[in-house]
């Protein structure tokens, strides 16, 4: 796999992205692939904490939009540096961020120009399951949402994924993540990434 080095794996909160990526990392390691998974918000958080702006992850989306945009760009620059080390870099992020003033792209144009991804993968799950996963995640301080809001987020995420693909020329794939199928989904993700790397 020498034809790629940045793949964006995304999905709305509660879609099971972290679980799939943990399984993906295990499978890729067994296959002897050199890659690294980086979480975009973790890089943003490190920068924000270094600048004294926030202390915890859920505080990021409550910052003024201009501050978030600045942090996004700085994180993209840092992630691009990581990608230049060679191998594959999987970026775990969100296509859409819900803010107090509405939806906001998780991957604006200046961020995409820095990352230069070769593939976008949008994980999706049953909306009812997304709600259950969010309710069961006590590690995060999430806003309460209803089913229609989850459906809206999924629709907006697809639209933004299509826009990102248009802006970069990279393909995007929607990958369903049904309950209890993380191994199969992780294998399909690996297969897709390998195929893109051969192009």
CATH number, domain at 122?
A: 3.40.50.300
Among the residue ranges 31-40, 110-119, 128-137, the one predicted with the least confidence is: 128-137
Whole-angstrom distance, CA of residue 158 vs CA of residue 42: 23
User: 3-class DSSP state for residue 184?
Assistant: helix
Whole-angstrom distance, CA of residue 112 vs CA of residue 165: 10
Whole-angstrom distance, CA of residue 145 vs CA of residue 134: 9
* Helix axes of 17-30 and 182-198: crossing angle, nearest 10 degrees: 60
In a domain, 31, yes or no: yes
pLDDT value of position 113? 95
Confidence grade of residue 47 (pLDDT, cut at 50, 70, 90): very high
pLDDT value of position 142? 54
Whole-angstrom distance, CA of residue 181 vs CA of residue 110: 35
In a domain, 189, yes or no: yes
Confidence grade of residue 72 (pLDDT, cut at 50, 70, 90): very high
Confidence grade of residue 4 (pLDDT, cut at 50, 70, 90): low
Rounded to an integer, the average pLDDT of 151-169 is 94
Confidence grade of residue 1 (pLDDT, cut at 50, 70, 90): very low
Q: How many structural domains does the chain have?
A: 1
Q: pLDDT at residue 23 above 60? A: yes
Q: pLDDT at residue 81 above 50? A: yes
Q: Which domain holds residue 23?
A: 6-40+87-198
Element containing residue 133 per DSSP (H, E): helix 127-136
Q: What average pLDDT is seen over the chain?
A: 88
Confidence grade of residue 34 (pLDDT, cut at 50, 70, 90): confident
Query: Can you read off the two tokens belonging to residue 138?
Result: 């006590």
User: 3-class DSSP state for residue 84?
Assistant: coil
Whole-angstrom distance, CA of residue 158 vs CA of residue 181: 22
Under 8 Å between Cβ of 130 and 180: no
């Amino acid at each position: 796999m020498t034809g790629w080095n940045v793949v964006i794996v995304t999905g709305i909160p509660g879609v099971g992205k972290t679980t799939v990526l943990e399984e993906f990392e295990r499978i890729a390691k067994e296959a002897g692939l050199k890659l690294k998974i980086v979480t975009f918000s973790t890089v943003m958080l490190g920068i924000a904490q270094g600048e004294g702006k926030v202390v915890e992850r859920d505080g990021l989306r409550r910052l003024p939009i201009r501050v978030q945009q600045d942090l996004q760009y700085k994180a993209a620059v840092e992630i691009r540096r990581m990608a230049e080390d060679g191998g594959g870099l999987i970026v775990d992020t969100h296509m859409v961020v819900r803010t107090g003033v509405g939806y906001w792209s998780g991957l604006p144009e200046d961020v995409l120009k820095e990352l230069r991804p070769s593939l976008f993968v949008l994980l999706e799950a049953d909306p009812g399951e997304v709600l259950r996963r969010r309710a069961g995640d006590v590690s995060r301080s999430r806003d309460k949402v209803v089913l229609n809001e989850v459906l809206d987020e999924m629709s907006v995420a697809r639209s933004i994924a299509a826009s990102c693909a248009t802006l970069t020329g990279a393909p995007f794939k929607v990958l369903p993540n049904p309950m209890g199928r993380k191994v199969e989904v992780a294998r399909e993700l690996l297969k897709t990434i390998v195929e893109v790397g051969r192009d």
